[in-house]
Each structure stands twice: as structure tokens, then as C-alpha cells.
Structure 1
Amino acid sequence: MTTPDGAPAAALRDIPPDTTGTGSSPADTPQTAERSETAPGSRRRPRFPVLSGIRRAPSTLRRVLQALGNEATPDDEPDVPEISPDLVPLLRTLGRAMLDSGQSVNDAQDVLKQVADLHGAHTVQTLVLPTCVFIRVQTASGVVTDFTDAAGSGLDLDQIGALYAVIRKLRNQTIDLADARAELRVIRSRPPRFGAVLTVVGHAILTLGFGLILNPTLDLLPVFVVLGLGVGLLRWLAARWPTLSTALPVVASFLVTVLAIQVVQPWLGDSPLQVLVPPLISFLPGSVLTVAAIELTSNQIVSGASRLLYGIAQLLLLVFGVVAGAAVAGDLIAGHGGERMGWWAPWVGVVLVGVGQMLFASTPRRSLPWVLVVLFAAYAAQLVGSYVAPEISGFFGALVIVPLATLVERTRTGPPAIITTLPAFWLLVPGALSFLGLSELVAGSAGSVSDIANAVVAVFAIALGMLVGTALTRDARRVGRTFFTE
């Protein structure tokens, strides 16, 4: 089909209509020529950027959901690798060190799996319990198994910081397996940063800090210092006398109870129960109970249940000392103290808790400012949560600990996240609540049962806050990798 002037109709359909009114073709107009000329490789600016963003939203949402979803597992079984002979001994030593740092079995298994995968052992299998580690690896030459026991505690914060520095090197593959194992042995034999005198003084400062957090009367401050020094001296002596170490919780709680009944109540008029918790804070299994709750809510039934029973046993030992002290010195009679110090006392107590932790638990060098940042944030969040729901205020405190500790770790001078997390565990004090409830039960207080129930709720609230905070941190990291590593 042709037009009257002989031009093909299809050709005319390809030419845009004349909108200039001059009869010239669009190619002849300078405005059209300018619009048609674009630089090579440049993108044409969208006419409606808002609508363009809406059109891109589904793909962005899909990328976010893929980042938040579970990692896909390969259908085919991986080939059996030939691994280094140093890998299994390293995993054994590393797993034991992580358990001795007080970490949950979930964290220990995750780290062991990451290290094994990075070094080619994709067939590694681990069974981590609170007091032992089993390693099984399928290699090209056969099955390699190993086992070690663990104490579940015993490393100070300085050693834990050095441990996570080695873990970071293993993740970045900047250290040989044999060298990493040698460093772990050196870390285990490293002495505390501070000597015996400063360690005992640190325990006294820690006791005073927790006493201030309870907002006591001014008369109780010297009592906290003296009792903190005494219990710190007992701990130092028990580290060198195994017989005393076995019965140390009972002996310490017995002596503190006797002094509280015979001195505090008659001389100062304060309730002896107010004096029990701060000097014994280093014995309270708050972190043990919280880690047990985390493991139970993560389907680690055996580990969580055994750790929970251990924490309850520690509390019962302390309560036994209180019962024995009350039987010798008299009843735990509620007193009527003077005026409380004021709203500022707990905030000063937070500072003293950080300083006391540095001396008593040997926090790494240059980590005190970061520890205080996390302590203040955790206490502030818990304080805000107490106005919303006092029973679960620990959830709000724990919720900010993991994200903030992770951000601190990413700074140039920030310590590993666990260094700022563990002191914050102590600050939330679920063990203090439960011990106080049990002590009031011994004294015949009417509110003791509700205090124990609130302590149980507090433990699981803190555990849930840690789990949610960890999950949010992991999701934020995945989404960040999705958008900023392409």
C-alpha cells in the first residue's frame, strides 16, 4: 500500500506527527534534535521520578526479603575434603576456650562451623555442651574425631578479648592454624591485668556500685565497701585454697548475713536484706541463668536445662548460707532506714560498676569508655522499660545491648562485642532479684513469692531481648551486605 505521493504507508507510520504546525519533519526541529542526542553510556532522566521509584519498589523488597530469609542449603553433598592436620586440634581448643568464656553452645557451634568452613572442612560436625566439645570431621582419608572437657568459666575479660581477637584473625584467614592454637595456649596462661590488691579493691568498688544502683541510704555506703573488701579477699584466698573454693558461696553468704544482722540492723537501723545482694554480686548466676534461657528458647534443651539447674544450685548455696547465718545471728528483721540518696545515685553506681569490673574482671586496655557507653545505654533502656512494664524491663535493656555492642566493635578502638556485653549482663541483675526473693522467703516476707516469680520473668525477658537484639543485628548486617557490596 502506498500514499498518493508514492511513499510507503509503513514508513509514514514510523514518523511521529508534526506538532510544530510548520509542516517540517521532527528531525528538522532543533528542540527534537537536542532531545534525541544523549551522551554515550548516560541514562535518560525519568520524567516522573516518584513513579519510577514505585516501579522499582517490588524488586527492592524482593532483595530485602532474600537477605532476611534463610540461607539456601545445597542439594548435593559436598565432596569429602583433605583438611589440615592442625584443624581438628584447633577446633577442640577453640571450643573449650569459648565455653570457658561463658558463651552459649549456640555461639560456640557457630564459630566452630565458620572456622571449619573457611578452612575447607565442610563436613565438620560438632556437639557442644556446657562442659564438653565433640568434633567429628569426614576427610578423604577417613573420619577424624576429638573430644575435650571444659569448665564453663574461668577466663577473665582480658583473656576473652584476646580470644576473640584470635577468632577474628581466623575469620579473616590472617593466621595459621598452628599459630592460632599456640596463641590460645598463651591466652589461657595469661595472668590478670591487675595484681591481688587491685583485684580486691575492684571487688569493693563493684559492690559499692551495685549498692548505689539500689539507691540506699548514705549510712550503708561504708558497709558496702567493707563487705566488698572482705568478700573480695575471700575470693582471692579461695583461688589458692581449693577446699575453701568448694564452699565459698556458703561461707561468703553466711558471713555477710551475720554481719548484716549483728551490725547493720542494730547500729544503722537498716534492713539486713538491703546489705545481702551487693557484696555477693560476684556469686550471683545472673549471666548463667540468662544464657540458660537463651539456650532453652533456641531448642538447646540439654545445655539449657543443665545450665539452668547449675544456676539454681548456685542460688541455693547462697540461700543456705543466709539460712545458716540467720540461725546463728538471729532473724532477718526488716528495719527502717533513713532517707534515700536520690535519683542520681544509680547513675553514679553505673560508673562504679564499670570501674569495678575493669579492676576485678580485668577488662582489656582502652575498653573502659566503651564498657561505660553500653552500661549507660542498657540501664537507661531498662529504666524506660520500667515505666512501661516493670516486670519485663530487662527486655528493653537487653534489646539494646547486642546492637550497640556490635556497633562499638566496628569502631577503630572498640573491643569485641562480648567485652561490653558481659558487664551489661551483670547490670541487669536477674540473679540479684531471684536471690533477694529467696532471702525474703527465708525471712518470712509476704512478697517473697512474687519476687521469685518476677525474677523468673526477668530472666526470660532478658534472654528474649538478647535473642531479638541478635536477630535484628544479623538482619541489618545481611541487608547492608545486599545493598552496599554490589
Structure 2
Amino acid sequence: MTRSTGGVLGAQVVPTPVSTADAVTPTVGPEEPTPTPTPEVPTVTPEPTEVVVPTESAVAPEPVPTPEQSASQEPSQPAPTSTSTVDVPWTSDPAVQQSDIPFGAIVVAVLVLVGAAVALTLAVRRARAARAVTGRVGVREPAALTTAIGVLDADTRPTVVLPRSSSDEPTTVLGAVPVADPTRTGPVPADRDPAIDTVRFLLVLGEAMVDSSAPVVQVTQTLERVGAINGAPDAEVVALPTALLVSVPGRTTTQTAASTAGWRQLRLHQVQDVLAVADLAESGAIGPVEGTARIREAVEAPPLYRGRTRVLGYVAVCAGLAMILGGGVLDAVVAAVLGAVIAGIQLAAARMPAAYQALVVLTCAFVASGAVFLLARTGLGIGLLAPLVAPLVTFLPGALLTTAAIDLATRQMIAGSARLAAGGMQLVLLALGITGAAALVGVPAAELGAAAEPLLGWFGPWLGVLVFGVGVVFHHCARRPALPWILLVLVVAYAGQVLGGLFFGGAFSAFVGALLMTPVAMFAATRPTGPPTLVGFLPGFWLLVPGALGLVGVTSILGDSADALSTVVTAGITMVAISLGVLAGIALGSAIGRPGNPGLAKF
């Protein structure tokens, strides 16, 4: 057993080297499991468990809500800044907050408008009562109270039925006989076409209306109505500021005639006479022959007042306008003196050819502005705007530019553009004279907006309106019975402008003034002593003074002023606002004065 054991041991020794080699390999085998510390791989897996520590760091950012709380505290501090940012979109405050109109002027404006509204309402009610009484008695009302109103009416040609004669001869056809009075005009001779007299009358009437500064749409519609009354319902009229074309179809031929227009400016009493003839012709009260004679008599009539009275009237116009523009007593005195000089120059140059009237405008602007600039250099403390613009008010194309805006608003593009160009040329002439005097004397044209402190307070402009109205009546030769009505229209226009300026600002205030004055002017035309509507609000155009704003703007451009463009734009907006206000006022008056609701006259 021992040997076997030894043999076994010996046998074991022999393979020992081999087994050692073999043993080395297995030792490598066990060494492989030793590095197999797969537990180390799980130790790698715990390392991601250590990544949980960043999750703890993510827990650490829990203080991040604390900065959120601090951020919530920060907006609480800029809360006032947030309110300031809310104010940023509002480029300007409401006009009421920015207005510097005195309280007394506002109170007077409200009282004036309330009183005018009450008086107008009472008068309309009386007109209704009178209409009811005359309707019961069977008396026919005047056409001025029964016809439809105005500029905004379309296709309002009356239908006229001519009386039939017992004879079939064409000589018995009456050319211009109204149905109510067939004895006014006799039968038309056999060798004379009645269309000839109708064409002549329409041509003369239209030319006079254009010279009266009537809008083209009013001229066209009036002539079409008159033609329909006189047996020419198919009459065609083309009216322009400088030309007139009338075509009336006759029995065998078509009568067409053309004439120049707009080369003269009628005075207010002439305008009243021309429009009175137009009203009578529209109602059929006069025929073409008589109407032609009366129109020619009206346009050739001499001035109502002597030259001295007209000069004093222009002095009052200048003084009143200076007070309306915010000038003081010294400004009004200077404007009045210069107004007398300008009126004298006008009377001396009245017979000059029309081609040289531009030189008169340039000379007057140079003389007036030179005197004002020289006085400004003496240190008297006068303003520049009021004493400079007021003496030149007769040359300011306020009515012309406003009528141009009305033509454009009523789609009369050719007439509106022509009048707008003429008004702009007038402003350029005035601005050229002013800047020339400023260059000679040394006063910069940019100071035209300067104004002295008004010495009469808020009452000064209201007094200026009354003085201005009286001066207009005597300088432009309106009839004296029309004075109270013209003053009423002017006061209402200025009151509307004051309240419009309070609630809407400067440019839109002219719209309110024109809107309110137009129905008053239309109502005044229905009174026995009242002037026609156009005569009533022509002074209102001069009062609202769009031309004055345009004059300052054009002069500022020639004087290299940075605010010149904005001033010209403001003047343009003012003109458009006035024209739209007039159209809106005519529509309002039309609604009040329709045949079933009389009380206002037609435009």
C-alpha cells in the first residue's frame, strides 16, 4: 500500500512539470475569475446610484423658487413703471385736458348755442302753424318754404305741364309761362324759338352765380331746375369756375351757348339780388326775358355805400379780426390803421385791368408786412400774427379755398382743382410780399406765429366777432336789414368753433362751427329781412379763417421754417373740415325744411 502510494506519489511527481504547466494555465483560469470581479461591475452600477447625488443637487435648486419669489417681488416695485408704459400708446391727452379756452368763453358759447336753438325751434313751430292756417284758407305758400333744399338733392327737377291751346299751331306754345300765372309772358312769335330765350337766361344766370362764389353743384342744379320750369327739362349744363356751357333742345334744333365766367367778384347785395332772381325763376314766377333783364341789372348795380363808408367798414373788419386772432388793443389799432391804407389802395386800383391785380396783392402784402416788422423792431410789444393777417383779410382766399373743398367733396374735380390752384396762387403772392418785407427789414419770417398777450381777456374775441360782422356789412355792401342775421350766423359759427375746439381740438373745431352756422343761415333766408343762404355764411368762411392758416404756412416755407409743412397740412384739414361741415349742415337743414316740415330755405 505504501509503494502504491509512493508509486502514486512518484507518478505524481513525474507529471508534476507537465501538471505545473497545466497548473499554470488553470492558475490563469482562476486569475480570470479574480479579475471577473463582476461585483466591480455592480460597483459601476452603484456609481449611477451615486448619480442620484446630482438628483440631490437638483433638489438643491429648490431654492430656485426663491428667486422666482424675488422676481415676483421685482414687478411689484416697477408697478408704477408699468402704468407709465400704459401711457406710452397715448400720443396725446384728450382735447378737453389740453384745451386752454377760458371758462367764460365756454359759458358764453353754450348760452349762445342754447339761445339760437330755442329761437330756431320756436320759429319752425310758428312756420308749421302758419302753414296749417294757410292750408286751411287755401293760400299758396311761397316757393322758398315749400321747395326741397339744396346741394345734396339729386334729380330734383320739377315737372311742368304747359297749358294747352285751342289751336294746333306751334305759335301758341308758351315758352316760359308758369302754370299759376299764364298772363305774365305772351305767346312766342312763330319765327322765334323759345329755347333761344331760355338758353340766354340760363347763361346769364349761371355766369352771375359763378361770380357769386356759388359751388358748381349749386349752379348746375339751379340751372337745370330753371330750364325744366321753362319747358326745357332736357337742358344740359356744364359749369366751371371760368366757363359755362348750356345746351337746350328746341323744336327743330338744339340751342347751345358758351360764356366766360368768374372774371369779377360780386358784392353781397349783388349776390342777394342774383339769388333772389334764381329763386323766382325756380318757382316759375318770372320768365327768361324778365329774368335776364333783372340779372343784368343786378350785376351792373353800383355799390350801396360810398367809398368812405366802405373804408371805415374795412377798418372795422381788420380790428375785429385782430381781436378774434387773440391780439391786444395795440394789435387791433395797428391792424385798423393798416386796414385803412389797404382799403385806400384797393379803391385806387379798382379800375385796373384784371391782369394787374396780382401786383396789387403783392404790393399790399409788402406794405402791410413792412410796416408791422418795422414796428416790431421798435420794441412796442406788438404781436406779428394779428396785425399782419388782419389787414390782408380781403386777399385771403378763405371762401375760395372752402368752395374748392366743397366742389371736391361733391365730385366736381375740375372745378375744385381750379379753385384750389387759384387760392394757392393767391397765398403764394401774399407770402412773397411778406417774406420780401421781412428780408428788407430784417425780421425773420419764422416769427409770424408770435402773438402779444391779449388785453381784453376772453371777452375780446366775442367783441371782435361783432365788430367784424358790422364791418363786413358795410365794406362788402350787404343790405342793412341783413345785419342782425349776419351777426347771428357769425356768433353761432364762433360759438361752435369754441366748443369744437374744447372737445375736438383746433382743426375739427371748424367743422363744428360750419355745421352749426349753416342751418341758421338757411333759416335766416326764410325771413322777410334775411339774406340768402350763401350771403349768410360767406362771412362765416372769412371768420373761420382757413386762409390765415395757409398764409402762415406758406410764409413759413419761404422762411425756411421747420413747422411750415405741419401748418400747411393744418390749413388743408381746416378747409376740408369747413366744407364737410357746410355739407352736413345743409343735410341737417334739408331734414328740417322739407315740404312736410317747412322752416328753412333752400341753399
2:518 maps to 1:402 = yes
Pairing partner for 2:408 from 289, 296, 308: 296
Number of the residue aligned with 2:343: 232
Number of the residue aligned with 1:425: 541
Classify the secondary structure of the residue corresponding to 2:327.
Answer: coil
Pairing partner for 1:207 from 318, 325, 330: 318
Q: How does 1:323-472 map to 2 (within 5 A)?
A: 323-332=435-444, 334=447, 337-338=452-453, 340-390=455-505, 391-472=507-588
Pairing partner for 2:376 from 246, 264, 276: 264
Number of the residue aligned with 1:180: 291
Aligned equivalents of 1:337 and 1:353: distance in 2? 20
What letter matches 1:344 in structure 2?
A: F
Number of the residue aligned with 1:11: none
Q: Unaligned stretches of 5+ in structure 1? A: 1-67, 75-80
Q: Is the 1:82–1:139 contact (alpha carbons within 8 Å) kept by the matching residues of 2?
A: no
Aligned equivalents of 2:550 and 2:157: distance in 1? 43
Which of the two has higher C-alpha Rg? 2
Classify the secondary structure of the residue corresponding to 1:277.
Answer: helix
Q: How does 1:41-120 map to 2 (within 5 A)?
A: 83=175, 84=194, 85-120=196-231
Classify the secondary structure of the residue corresponding to 1:136.
Answer: strand
Q: Is the 1:273–1:440 contact (alpha carbons within 8 Å) kept by the matching residues of 2?
A: no
Number of the residue aligned with 1:17: none
Q: Is the 2:374–2:441 contact (alpha carbons within 8 Å) kept by the matching residues of 1?
A: yes
Number of the residue aligned with 1:121: 232
Aligned equivalents of 2:373 and 2:559: distance in 1? 12
Number of the residue aligned with 1:43: none
Number of the residue aligned with 2:392: 280
CA 159–260 in structure 1, closer or farther in 2 if over 3 Å, else same: same
Aligned equivalents of 2:552 and 2:233: distance in 1? 48
Instruction: Please list the CA deviations of residues 261-286 of structure 1 after superposition, one character each: whole Å capped at 9, or x if unmatched.
Output: 11234241334344221000110001
Task: State the 1:364 CA deviation.
Answer: 1.8
Q: Is the 1:102–1:153 contact (alpha carbons within 8 Å) kept by the matching residues of 2?
A: no
Q: Is the 2:396–2:427 contact (alpha carbons within 8 Å) kept by the matching residues of 1?
A: yes
Task: State the 1:182 CA deviation.
Answer: 0.7
Aligned equivalents of 1:129 and 1:162: distance in 2? 22
Task: State the 1:137 CA deviation.
Answer: 1.1
CA 337–221 in structure 1, closer or farther in 2 if over 3 Å, else same: same
CA 462–153 in structure 1, closer or farther in 2 if over 3 Å, else same: farther
Aligned equivalents of 1:386 and 1:449: distance in 2? 22
Number of the residue aligned with 2:110: none
Aligned equivalents of 1:310 and 1:167: distance in 2? 27
Number of the residue aligned with 1:56: none
Classify the secondary structure of the residue corresponding to 1:247.
Answer: helix
Task: State the 1:69 CA deviation.
Answer: 9.4
Instruction: Please list the CA deviations of residues 120-149 of structure 1 after superposition, one character each: whole Å capped at 9, or x if unmatched.
Output: 101100100001110011122111101110
Number of the residue aligned with 2:276: 165
Decide which moves more: 408-417 or 428-437.
408-417
Q: Is the 1:285–1:311 contact (alpha carbons within 8 Å) kept by the matching residues of 2?
A: yes
Backbone CA RMSD of aligned residues: 2.4
Aligned equivalents of 2:225 and 2:205: distance in 1? 12
Structure scoring higher RCO (CA < 8 A, sep ≥ 6) equals 2
CA 70–229 in structure 1, closer or farther in 2 if over 3 Å, else same: closer
Q: Unaligned stretches of 5+ in structure 2? A: 1-151, 159-172, 176-193, 599-603
Classify the secondary structure of the residue corresponding to 2:479.
Answer: coil
Decide which moves more: 181-190 or 214-223.
214-223
Q: Is the 2:384–2:451 contact (alpha carbons within 8 Å) kept by the matching residues of 1?
A: no
Classify the secondary structure of the residue corresponding to 2:376.
Answer: helix
Classify the secondary structure of the residue corresponding to 2:525.
Answer: helix
Aligned equivalents of 2:212 and 2:356: distance in 1? 23
Classify the secondary structure of the residue corresponding to 1:463.
Answer: helix
Q: Is the 1:273–1:332 contact (alpha carbons within 8 Å) kept by the matching residues of 2?
A: no
CA 152–426 in structure 1, closer or farther in 2 if over 3 Å, else same: farther
CA 160–463 in structure 1, closer or farther in 2 if over 3 Å, else same: same
Aligned equivalents of 1:92 and 1:195: distance in 2? 31
Instruction: Please list the CA deviations of residues 343-366 of structure 1 after superposition, one character each: whole Å capped at 9, or x if unmatched.
Output: 011111111111111111000231
Task: State the 1:378 CA deviation.
Answer: 0.6
What letter matches 1:248 in structure 2?
A: V
Pairing partner for 1:149 from 260, 269, 288: 260
Pairing partner for 1:309 from 404, 421, 425: 421
Instruction: Please list the CA deviations of residues 30-73 of structure 1 after superposition, one character each: whole Å capped at 9, or x if unmatched.
Output: xxxxxxxxxxxxxxxxxxxxxxxxxxxxxxxxxxxxxx996699
Between the aligned residues of both structures, percent identity stands at 33
Instruction: Please list the CA deviations of residues 285-340 of structure 1 after superposition, one character each: whole Å capped at 9, or x if unmatched.
Output: 01111111111111111111111111100000101111211121112374674554
Q: Is the 2:157–2:228 contact (alpha carbons within 8 Å) kept by the matching residues of 1?
A: no
Q: Is the 1:113–1:124 contact (alpha carbons within 8 Å) kept by the matching residues of 2?
A: yes
- Taking structure 1 as the reference length, the TM-score comes to 0.80
Q: Is the 2:322–2:464 contact (alpha carbons within 8 Å) kept by the matching residues of 1?
A: yes
Number of the residue aligned with 1:37: none
Aligned equivalents of 1:108 and 1:464: distance in 2? 19
Aligned equivalents of 2:576 and 2:292: distance in 1? 36
What letter matches 1:402 in structure 2?
A: T
Aligned equivalents of 2:291 and 2:156: distance in 1? 31
- Taking structure 2 as the reference length, the TM-score comes to 0.65
Decide which moves more: 356-365 or 434-443.
434-443
Q: Is the 1:99–1:153 contact (alpha carbons within 8 Å) kept by the matching residues of 2?
A: no
Instruction: Please list the CA deviations of residues 414-449 of structure 1 after superposition, one character each: whole Å capped at 9, or x if unmatched.
Output: 221111111111111111111122223444444333
Q: What is the total number of aligned residue pairs between the two structures?
A: 411
Number of the residue aligned with 1:62: none
CA 132–229 in structure 1, closer or farther in 2 if over 3 Å, else same: same
Task: State the 1:455 CA deviation.
Answer: 0.8
